[in-house]
Chains A and B, each alone.
Chain A
């Protein structure tokens, strides 16, 4: 019997018992849909985590910090790192950076010093703007790419690089909507028109807030004949050499980057000035009087995602606090996995019930068709033909159930995604993925082509397996008893 004829015969048999076939298939449909939807939720969670990771920025970066000895005003915020047992706590300095770079898998380790500086260009200002000191050669390793101009080079002094949004942060102090405008540009609610041509306009910078705000004040207070009076602080001219591409990292996108050497010099100078003038110069007040000789924050770039955990452990061994983005995601993922497993279990259960249904239907069908089977045997059907006729029939039930099940899953998936139905909670997701963020929406269910294919194959296999014993039974039927007249 050719496979085509077996196929035709099997379709005919299924069609003849429409209701029973339908009910049996329904069982498989429900089982398959259960499994597909559950797995699709797991996939969606994974996809969301992936997106989350992308939002975190570079996942091969490890953030190391050492705030020991730092005194933020009156708040004592010390993260102890002196577990060495009496030994002097390790310092996050250039020597330590060199040590980090010796750890296998580390590409580069760079400090990322922060400081608020004051910029002025014409009538437009940026006040207390967050700037970063970074190793010039580490910029490209950190994934910073110039959209215009270049990155920092060794030996750059007042040459600076602007982050993607930094350009838009100049505002007119006399414009009452100045702050709103900044915010709207940043949240992409407004077309961005730069107020300052950063590459051509003259831009000056100071660490002294009075440079922008306290001019009249300064004039009054400045007494050229008083040796103890605060001295005016000379602003620096800066030269913008590059504008970065968007990194989708709010910190880096808004930053202005200086070479670490000049940044340290500015800091020391500001510190000295603030002491001698008995003035607080913005951010520099924070480190006033500290014996800060190391960096507060260091980024370690790893060669690839696989070594990140290893490198992170090594850094922790050296006595520092560190953090890498995937860490949190790993934890979230694990907690999500257990929910998924539970639901998948439910799906498999229902498919097992469906399999029993198929087997039952097939056995009933064989009892009903005992006579038919006998007749076919008598007029020349081979054992093989009979076996395949029944196997194919049950496999077809599985396949059809799988098809409709996958179809149903697509529908359910669509419903979950678009009508906001969520069966599984994804703890913490909302926090990391606020819905407003750039139209990125958390998906609840994601059906990939391989998932559908796998589900179809699985459902057919279930059909085939549940048809095996009934089919064997059919082949063993005695033709003789089958055709014996009643």
Chain B
């Protein structure tokens, strides 16, 4: 049972600025997911520090980390990760439930969010009754409902077709920009990287290069319902 030391990340030093969109671009196994997990407070670095608003994340205890996730970050997953027992509306309210927001307020807020992702008419549906794109919209609404400072999107379009991918990316970047939220997209897809202000190439746990993306893709697609 010899323990092999694997260095997932090495010599990383990045600063994410408020309101900008970043892309962590790298192949599978490059360490980009590990980096994302550390930024989200899910994993602690064995060395080094991650500062959020000047405070080291790795020093927080579980309760403080839960609070950090509740208030400051949003998460969009590749596989949507909606709770199957809850309706779309309830899935969106979930982060507010953890924050003990009253039922009236959180339902109101969730309805607004669903509307802005164009899913008002699906509020009462269970995830199993929604298409992949619709599920991802719910997931996006859930990520943004807390009005977080940072939203992480982990391969947000990995399971979606091209058209839906365009829609989703437009939606995510649109909302983030509108509320001046930092968006960090993690992907291996170079096309998605085009939505970011800055592309961080990661390879073998190291930052290969940081590329400012001048020619940003601006996609304006009206949501299905407005």
Q: Which residues of A contact B (CB under 8 A)?
A: 1-2, 5, 12-13, 16, 371-372, 375-385, 478-480, 483, 485-486
Contacts and interface: CB of A to CB of B under 8 A. Distances in A.
Contacts of B98: 1, 376, 379-382, 385
Contacts of B77: 375, 483, 485
Contacts of A372: 83-84
B100 A1 contact: yes
Contact of B81 (A2, A13, A16, A375): A375
Contact of B85 (A1, A13, A384, A483): A13
B123 interface: no
Contacts of B42: 378, 478-480
Interface in B127-158: 142, 146, 155, 158
Contacts of B142: 379
B151 to A, nearest CB: 12
Contacts of B175: none
Contacts of B66: 377, 380-383
B22 interface: no
A12 B75 contact: no
4 smallest CB-CB distances across A and B, nearest first, come from: A380-B70, A382-B66, A380-B98, A375-B81
Interface string B89-131: 0000011011110000000000000000000000000000000
Contacts of A378: 40, 42, 69, 75, 81
Given A376-B98, A379-B74, A380-B66, 6 more contacts: A12-B86, A380-B70, A380-B95, A382-B63, A382-B67, A383-B63
A385 B70 CA distance: 13
B37 A480 contact: yes
Contact of B100 (A2, A12, A371): A2
Contact of B83 (A375, A383, A486): A375
A473 to B, nearest CB: 15
23 contacts: A1-B100, A2-B97, A12-B85, A12-B86, A376-B83, A378-B40, A378-B81, A379-B69, A379-B98, A380-B66, A380-B71, A380-B95, A380-B99, A382-B62, A382-B98, A383-B62, A383-B63, A383-B66, A384-B63, A385-B98, A480-B43, A485-B77, A485-B155
Interface string B39-67: 01011000000000000000000110011
A382 B71 CA distance: 12
Contact of A379 (B79, B85, B95): B95
Nearest to A17: B85
Interface in B5-46: 37, 40, 42-43
Nearest to A382: B66
Contacts of A380: 66-67, 69-71, 95, 98-99, 146
A478 B71 CA distance: 20
B18 to A, nearest CB: 21
B78 interface: yes
Q: Would you call the interface of chain A mostly helix, strand, loop, or mixed?
A: helix
Of the candidates A5, A12, A372, the one having the most CB atoms from chain B within 10 angstroms of its own CB is: A5
Of the candidates B42, B78, B95, the one having the most CB atoms from chain A within 10 angstroms of its own CB is: B42
A483 B86 CA distance: 18
Contacts of A2: 97, 100
Contacts of B99: 380
Nearest to B78: A485
A474 to B, nearest CB: 13
Of the candidates B70, B78, B83, the one having the most CB atoms from chain A within 10 angstroms of its own CB is: B83
A483 B142 CA distance: 16
Nearest to A13: B85
B93 to A, nearest CB: 9
A320 to B, nearest CB: 77
A372 B71 CA distance: 20
Contacts of B79: 485-486
Nearest to A16: B85
Contacts of A478: 42
A480 B81 CA distance: 13
Nearest to B97: A5
Contacts of B62: 382-383
Nearest to B75: A378
A478 to B, nearest CB: 8
A483 B75 CA distance: 11
Contacts of B43: 480
A381 B37 CA distance: 16
Contacts of B146: 380
A5 B84 CA distance: 17
Contacts of A1: 97-98, 100
Of the candidates B78, B97, B146, the one having the most CB atoms from chain A within 10 angstroms of its own CB is: B97
A217 to B, nearest CB: 101
A371 B95 contact: no
A377 B66 CA distance: 7
Contacts of A385: 98
Contacts of A486: 79
Contacts of A16: 85
A485 B187 CA distance: 13
Nearest to B101: A2
A381 B43 CA distance: 16
Nearest to A371: B81
B135 to A, nearest CB: 13
Nearest to A2: B100
A372 B80 CA distance: 11
Nearest to A5: B97
Nearest to B99: A380
Of the candidates B62, B98, B155, B158, the one having the most CB atoms from chain A within 10 angstroms of its own CB is: B98
A372 B84 CA distance: 9
Contacts of B95: 379-380
B222 to A, nearest CB: 28
A379 B84 CA distance: 15
Contacts of A384: 63
B35 to A, nearest CB: 13
A478 B86 CA distance: 22
A383 B70 CA distance: 13
Contacts of A379: 69-70, 74-75, 94-95, 98, 142
Contacts of A371: 81
A480 B37 CA distance: 7
A384 B63 CA distance: 9
Interface in B158-205: 158
Nearest to A486: B79
A7 B222 CA distance: 39
A376 B75 contact: no
